[in-house]
């Protein structure tokens, strides 16, 4: 596990929703509602609003995402450079885990 | 239970920062039980998490215009809300409450109520801490919010202690 993985894991029960938010923002800024819809289409599960904004506040505190000016009562968020770095490391780590898991399944 | 009502459970700085977009995300549809639970646990998190409290106070101040004026006002209120005296009173209530619960537990144990004494010893500190919260953490918040944030968990702790006893 790398230092960046530790940082994401340190979010505890918010680490998975936070990862989903980072992935959702990877292709451009989105507001809360669009993030929710995007996560639902990615994972099949819609994050609850309490969980979503708990994760957003934590990502903002770490400057992994940043808010943009409000557009029609909706505030979009975008991924920062450090957020991209954390996301990239986490996805690399997950790819390694998936590769090992597939290899072990093939051996069994 | 509607989303705007549940939103009142959140700290004022949180509502100023995320309230509008939160309601927009929830939408107009009736809330399901799972959503209600998620929103209530989000409110507890918003009160207790240093990360969330820090973000709602600091980042709102950098968004400019009316929001900045509002959040500066909130920050000013928050700065004056917690005085040294509040800290001392809060700590005093917590310590005095804990001592009283320990004494009560000792009295009960002497009189053969060992299970009740143990339940009070286990939960006494937590209940004392919750009873001290109106003097510091939730000071200045609406009474309904304080009842929801402090009264209900305290009542649950007492209930759990009573069942265990």
pLDDT at B117: 81
Nearest to A74 among B21, B26, B37 (CB): B21
pLDDT at B129: 82
How many Å is the maximal CA-CA distance in chain B?
Answer: 65
Please tell me whether residues B26 and B62 are part of one structural domain: yes
Name the region of A45 (left: φ>0; alpha: ψ -120 to 50; beta: rest). Answer: beta
pLDDT at B74: 47
Q: Looking at the predicted structure, is the pLDDT value of residue A25 above 50? A: yes
pLDDT single digits (tens) A45-55: 999 999 999 99
* Structural domains in chain B (count): 2
Is the CB of residue B79 less than 8 Å away from at least one CB of chain A? no
Please tell me whether residues B159 and B120 are part of one structural domain: yes
Please tell me whether residues B106 and B159 are part of one structural domain: yes
Highest-pLDDT range among A2-16, B106-120, B130-144: B106-120
Kindly list the residues from chain B whose CB atom is less than 8 angstroms away from the CB atom of residue A58. Answer: 49, 51-52, 55
* Structural domains in chain A (count): 1
Last residue of a domain, one of B64, B81, B98: B81
Cβ contact A75:A67 at 8 Å: yes
Is the CB of residue B71 less than 8 Å away from at least one CB of chain A? no
Last residue of a domain, one of B29, B50, B81: B81
Contacts of B144 (CB under 8 A, 6+ apart): B8
Cβ contact A45:B34 at 8 Å: no
Please tell me whether residues B48 and B24 are part of one structural domain: yes
Three-class secondary structure assignment of B68-114: HHHHHHHHHHHHHHCCHHHHHHHHHHHHHHHHHHHHHHHHHHHCCCH
Please tell me whether residues B88 and B102 are part of one structural domain: yes
Closest CA to B26 of A95, A51, A96: A51
B52 lies in which domain range? Answer: 3-81
Determine the Cα–Cα distance for residues A60 and B56; give it in Å rounded to an integer.
Answer: 9
The per-residue pLDDT of chain B, averaged, comes to: 78
CATH code, A29:
1.10.10.10
pLDDT single digits (tens) B17-73: 999 899 988 877 788 888 899 999 999 989 888 878 777 776 555 554 444 444 444
pLDDT at B155: 81
Question: What does pTM read for this prediction?
Answer: 0.61
Determine the Cα–Cα distance for residues B86 and B88; give it in Å rounded to an integer.
Answer: 5
A22 lies in which domain range? Answer: 3-107
Please tell me whether residues B66 and B91 are part of one structural domain: no
């Amino acid at each position: 596990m790398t230092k960046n993985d530790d940082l994401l894991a340190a979010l505890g029960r918010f680490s998975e929703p936070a990862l989903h938010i980072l992935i959702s923002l990877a292709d451009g800024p989105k507001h809360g509602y669009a993030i929710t819809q995007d996560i639902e289409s990615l994972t099949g599960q819609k994050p609850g609003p309490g969980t979503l904004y708990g994760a957003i506040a934590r990502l903002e505190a770490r400057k992994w995402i940043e808010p943009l000016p409000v557009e029609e009562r909706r505030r979009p968020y975008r991924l920062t450079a450090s957020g991209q770095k954390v996301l990239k490391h986490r996805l690399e780590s997950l790819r390694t885990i998936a590769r090992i898991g597939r290899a072990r399944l093939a051996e069994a | 239970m509607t989303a705007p009502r549940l939103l009142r459970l959140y700290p004022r700085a949180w509502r100023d920062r995320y309230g509008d977009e939160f309601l927009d995300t929830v939408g107009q549809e009736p809330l399901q039980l799972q959503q209600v639970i998620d929103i209530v646990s989000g409110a507890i998190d918003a009160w207790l998490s240093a990360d969330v409290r820090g973000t709602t106070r600091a980042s709102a101040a950098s968004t400019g215009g009316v929001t900045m004026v509002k959040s500066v006002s909130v920050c000013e209120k928050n700065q004056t809300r917690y005085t040294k005296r509040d800290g001392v009173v809060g700590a005093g209530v917590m310590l005095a409450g804990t001592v009283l619960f320990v004494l009560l537990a000792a009295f009960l144990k002497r009189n053969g109520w060992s299970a009740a004494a143990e339940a009070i010893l286990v939960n006494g500190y937590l209940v004392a801490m919750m009873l001290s919260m109106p003097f510091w953490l939730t000071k200045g918040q609406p009474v309904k919010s304080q009842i929801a944030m402090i009264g209900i968990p305290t009542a649950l702790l007492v209930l759990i202690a009573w069942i265990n006893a």
